[in-house]
Structure 1
Amino acid sequence: MAALTVPIIAPLAAGDIGGNAAHVGYFVALIYVGAMFSSVISGDLVSRFGAIRSSQVSLLLCAAGLACCSYGTLWAMFASALLIGFGYGPITPASSHILATTTPSHLMGLMFSIKQTGVPVGGALAGAFVPMLAVSLHWQGSVLAVSIACLVTAAIAQCYRTQLETPLEPTRGSLANLAKPFRLIFEHKPLRDLALCSFFFGAIQLCLTTYLVLHLTQVYGMGLVAAGLILTATQAAGIVGRILWGWIADRWISPRVLLSALALCMAISSLVTASFTPDWPLITVIVISICFGATAIGWNGVYLAEVARLAPPGKAGVVTGGTLFFTYFGVVTGPPVFALVTQATGSIGTGFTLFGFILLLTGLSLALPRRQPKPS
């Protein structure tokens, strides 16, 4: 919710700040740049200070970033984005650490998927309440209100610290600790495969949410309101998908095979979306968009549960932080690459075609059988 508050109030804030509302894309990119680097050190923070304490610090950083935004200057916005990003990065590794130590193995996929619904739910809350707050409290008041909500949540988390915190590992910060997540990932091929694939998963997820409305209005000829409703349907499908795929991964299909199938479905959806023309039936466009959202937004829970399962004992937070570096890197680089392809070809469909073929290769690589280590 904190990460999406500023993009929502951008049209109101742009005049006071002296910028262009379209520049909010740079703000979002800076958030994920901050999240990339804070996710790498998050495993070390969880080991030293605990998952709940790390989550509280993350909330305080988000609150500080939103408060900084209320100053209404370009430099304040720059600092705001980085602070929110630094707070965004450790949240998932910390929560993965808690779930990895408290969740029965046969419920890992489902519980991680339920946890990951917090992301689209937070976006829905931002979309529902931030505009109303901005109308009644001005845009500065709306960001301060969300900042206070972060502080209240951090205080509530204190009530569960004793119950959920695991024994701490007092260590000293060092460059070796910064490299530890990457060392753990690249020493284990299954983890390395998942981390690299998450780069493309993260890229297509943000490309879908960034460019679908533009594609539907400019290529398919749909009205802005109707295109916005279809984007909402894709987000809702992502919420349902996150829970559904986690439940399936716990019962019928191995997580790696399921992630391969989801990647192939993303690829097909992206390629079909690229083919939209005004002649297509509306119901077909809606169904394809929902399938696209259910897969491109719904993969996270299965992925994070598998990362936690493959991580060495007690290292779920460290490994998750390392893999999220690649995920956020995809989020940062995906939309700019999509934009460059679109500008070079003059077609948004070309961007969806390119990423469709990339996801096709990603899905096939995950489907390849893993080599079993030779017995020593």
Structure 2
Amino acid sequence: MTASTTTMTPRKSRIKKYRTTILVLLAAAMVINYLDRSALAVAMPFIANDFNLTPAEKGIIFSSFFLGYALFNFVGGVLADKIGPKKVMAWSMILWSTMCGLVAGAFNFWSLLVLRVLFGVGEGPISTTANKVVNNWFPLKERARSVGINQAGGPLGGALSGPVVGVLAVYFGWRVAFVVIALIGLTWALIWYFVATDTARQNSRVTPAELAEIEAGTRVEQAEDEAVARDAPSMWKAILQPAILATALSLFCYNYILFFFLTWFPSFLVDAQGVSLAGMSVVSALPWVAGTFGYMGGGYLIDYIFRRTGKQFFSRKVVLVTCLLICSVCVGLTGMVASATSAVTLMTVAVGFLMLAAPAYWTLINDAAPKEYVGSAGGLMHGLSNLSGIVAPSITGAIVATSTYTGAFVLAGGFGVVGALVIWAGVRQRQDVRPEVPVA
């Protein structure tokens, strides 16, 4: 008995080690993703001064990113299913990091516009492809928390962007900031290339015990894969489900709040609340910090409710609806308060609850879509929802140019309420799928 215990202890350590490495890299990719993406919002006051941009032009620049981004959410998901997530993640990071670095060479409104569209093309596949990696690498009982930890890198990157980009812009100029973060992304791509594989089964560093744990409890057992592939529905039939489309509509509303905050909140603090550029770089990071803990907490909360109740669908839905409603109320109130302290506090609470709801979207897609089409279904949901990235910054720019920020905040909060109601009333559990019981 003693000898058996001795041999199993290090093996258990190895079981958890390698998929943790993959998860750390995924989270790091999301940190870089949002560090790069948020950099423009933080640097915009500096760029607007250099290029003499109007509020409407700033809104167009913010929106241009999503022209390429929304399209390649879907393209990236399809490619992840067809050629594997490892290649898609690597080339995505290389492309967007290159475009980020080239922003340092922008010289007017039009050059910045083109670079932002191409930047969006590069970033488009990242979240959908990361979700495909989680689906390939993690057992069902760990999916929600793995999604949460992975996606928590996004708000962490947003939190870092304020101090990092702000300090670099103040002391070295905003162009230097874009070059530095581009180099970080290219370094990640090199590491990912040598460390990752599409599935755990393909990776020689994964032990048989870990592979058995990863593949246990999934809807489609490994031994049935060939039969499932022969009988699989067409991609479009598999992903054009009411539940997936309703989830995409709700995520559109969710993303309206996210992109409104991501693109306009730093400018709101400077223009409407009188915060200095240096102060903005610091305080605008606080909501992102709350969002980081929210994302991780959301994944663990969903898995906890699932574990306690055995209700897979309920665990996703109750967290999403409750948290999105709380967020929406806080967003609407932010535009009505008079002080910067109150505005930052309310938005910090709002973003915390917004991110708390986020893992539910990706786990709902994992539940709804056949395993072989998880990337495509996630890409469709993500692509349709990210059209809000075109809408939110432009509408906000038009509102700010003709009125005040108050209406923009109230509108964003209203979108959140609609998103919660869509999930509550419009997303039903599939009757043809046996709910899976979590393994304690």
Match 1:259 to one of 305, 320, 324 = 320
Aligned residue for 1:48?
82
Relative to structure 1, is the Cα distance of residues 305 and 373 closer, same or farther in structure 2, using a 3 angstrom cutoff? closer
Relative to structure 1, is the Cα distance of residues 130 and 273 closer, same or farther in structure 2, using a 3 angstrom cutoff? closer
* Kept in 1: contact 2:251–2:419 (CA 8 A): no
Q: Superposed, which structure 2 residues align to 1:23-172 within 5 Å?
A: 23-74=57-108, 75-134=110-169, 138-162=173-197, 164=199
Match 1:194 to one of 239, 247, 253 = 247
* Kept in 1: contact 2:243–2:428 (CA 8 A): no
Compute the displacement of 1:9 (Å). Answer: 4.1
Relative to structure 1, is the Cα distance of residues 288 and 164 closer, same or farther in structure 2, using a 3 angstrom cutoff? same
Q: Superposed, which structure 2 residues align to 1:293-308 within 5 Å?
A: 293-308=351-366
* Counterpart Cα distance in 1 of 2:329 and 2:380: 29
Compute the displacement of 1:216 (Å). Answer: 6.2
- What amino acid maps onto 2:261 in structure 1? L
Match 1:243 to one of 277, 281, 296 = 296
* Kept in 2: contact 1:238–1:298 (CA 8 A): yes
Relative to structure 1, is the Cα distance of residues 123 and 267 closer, same or farther in structure 2, using a 3 angstrom cutoff? closer
- What amino acid maps onto 2:121 in structure 1? F
Give the structure-2-normalised TM-score: 0.70
- What amino acid maps onto 1:326 in structure 2? L
- What amino acid maps onto 2:318 in structure 1? V
Tell me, which stretches of 5 or more residues in structure 1 are unaligned? 168-179
The SS at the match of 2:100 is helix
Aligned residue for 2:414?
357
Aligned residue for 2:219?
none
Compute the displacement of 1:275 (Å). Answer: 3.6
Matched residues, percent identical?
18
* Counterpart Cα distance in 2 of 1:237 and 1:181: 37
* Kept in 2: contact 1:65–1:79 (CA 8 A): no
Relative to structure 1, is the Cα distance of residues 363 and 285 closer, same or farther in structure 2, using a 3 angstrom cutoff? same
Greater Cα radius of gyration, structure 1 or 2: 2
Q: Bigger shift: 252-261 or 110-119?
A: 252-261
Tell me, which stretches of 5 or more residues in structure 2 are unaligned? 1-34, 203-233, 306-313, 433-440
* Kept in 2: contact 1:51–1:165 (CA 8 A): no
Compute the displacement of 1:157 (Å). Answer: 0.6
* Counterpart Cα distance in 2 of 1:222 and 1:69: 28
Q: Superposed, which structure 2 residues align to 1:332-351 within 5 Å?
A: 332-341=390-399, 346-351=403-408
Compute the displacement of 1:38 (Å). Answer: 1.0
Compute the displacement of 1:332 (Å). Answer: 1.8
Match 1:269 to one of 330, 346, 352 = 330
Compute the displacement of 1:20 (Å). Answer: 3.0
The SS at the match of 1:143 is helix
Give the structure-1-normalised TM-score: 0.81
Compute the displacement of 1:65 (Å). Answer: 0.9
| RMSD (CA atoms) | 3.3
The SS at the match of 1:254 is helix
* Kept in 1: contact 2:331–2:347 (CA 8 A): no
- What amino acid maps onto 2:122 in structure 1? G
* Kept in 2: contact 1:342–1:351 (CA 8 A): yes
The SS at the match of 1:117 is helix
Cα shift readout 1:145-199 (whole Å, capped 9, x = no counterpart): 32222221111111123474778xxxxxxxxxxxx8765443x222111101111
Q: Bigger shift: 312-321 or 333-342?
A: 333-342
* Counterpart Cα distance in 2 of 1:230 and 1:29: 24
